[in-house]
Structure 1
Amino acid sequence: MRFFQSFDTLLSPANGWAMSAGATMAPVFYYLYGSERRDILIVLLVMIALDWMTGVFAAKKDLTYSSEYGLSRIPRTLFLFALPAVANLLDRVVGTPGFLFFGVTFGLIYHTWTSLTANAFRAGWPLPKAVVKLVSSEIQAKAERSTRKEKQ
């Protein structure tokens, strides 16, 4: 009897909406990004989340954090997720088996990695010296942006 009682919480309106949204979005997701590409997209999602997190800590440390700046990053993030979809659609049009998709996606992952690593350095988190040297130009660019922001 207890097994059937658990259906009461499963069959709630909120769960119904969530299931409907998932059933609607799954085909759209596969159309935009292709099948069997979840893993690389999850890597990109995690990297972007880490970039946001390290960016917040770095901005709070150097006192340049503002919610306005954070909100302005939302369209940028949506753009980062749209680029692999466009590349996948172009692969389909041109007939290449993922060449553009994987090139764009790995490029975005590398760019996001340099950004989050520079943010982590600015936040004062320990990083190997070799990694700091690899992203030194990004660290310098972020430091200059935060200095300009402080003056405004």
Structure 2
Amino acid sequence: MRFAQSLDNVATPANGIAATVGVFLAPAFQYLYGTGRMDILILLFIMNALDWVTGIAAAKKDLTYSSDYGLSRIPRTLFLFALPAVGNLLDKVMGTPGFLFYGVTFGLIYHTWTSLTANAHRAGWPMPKSIEKLVGSEIKAKTERAARKEHK
């Protein structure tokens, strides 16, 4: 009797909808990104989330944040998540075993890392000097871009 009662919490309409969505989305993700690539995609997702967080913190600190700027980041982020799928599909067409997928994905991760690191520096968050040195050109570019926005 107790086991049957515990199923009442599992067999809900919301869980049924979530399971149905998962049944259709999982094969689509595997087709678009390939199998066994979840770790690198999660890393790309986390890096983009951190880029958003640090970008917002930096923009609020130097008073350059606007809702228009924030909304313009949505298509950019969707574009960044589409590029690995394009790389994977090109790999399928060309018969290469993940060459373009991994090249594009690691390139995006590196680009996002430099962006979020520069944003964290602009936000005034502590960072090792060696890291600041590695992304110095990105820090300079973001600082100059923020200064131009302030004067508009």
TM-score, scaled relative to structure 1: 0.96
What's the counterpart of residue 101 of structure 2? 101
Give the Cα separation in 1 of the matches to 2:46 and 2:145.
24
Cα distance between partner residues in 2 of 1:39 and 1:132: 27
- State percent identity of aligned pairs: 72
1:46 matched to 2:40? The reply is no
Q: What is the distance in 2 between the residues matched to 1:5 and 1:64?
A: 55
User: 1:150 is matched with which residue?
Assistant: 150
Local SS of the residue matching 2:117: helix
**What residue is the counterpart of 1:37 in the other structure?**
37
Aligned length: 152
- Unaligned runs of 5+ residues in structure 2 are none
| 1:2 shift after superposition | 3.1
Superposition RMSD on alpha carbons, in Å?
Answer: 1.0
Following superposition of structure 1 onto structure 2, how do residues 53-64 of structure 1 map, counting pairs within 5 Å? 53-64=53-64
Residues 80-95 of structure 1: matches in 2 within 5 Å? 80-95=80-95
Partner of 1:134: 134
SS in 2 for 1:108: helix
User: Residue 74 of structure 1 corresponds to which residue in structure 2?
Assistant: 74
Offset at 1:71? 1.2
The CA deviation at 1:87 is: 0.3
Gaps of 5+ in 1: none
Q: What SS is found at the alignment partner of 1:120? A: helix
One-letter amino acid of the counterpart of residue 18, structure 2: A
User: How far is the alpha carbon of 1:150 from its aligned partner?
Assistant: 1.6
Bigger shift: residues 118-127 or 63-72: 63-72
C-alpha distance in structure 2 between counterparts of 1:147 and 1:5, whole Å: 62
Amino acid at match of 2:15: N
**What's the offset of the Cα at 1:97?**
0.4
Distance 2:69 2:122 in 1: 17
AA aligned to 1:13 is P
Whole-Å Cα distance in 2 between the matches of residues 6 and 60 of structure 1? 48
Deviation, 1:6, is: 2.5
The runs of 4+ residues in structure 1 deviating greater than 6 Å are none
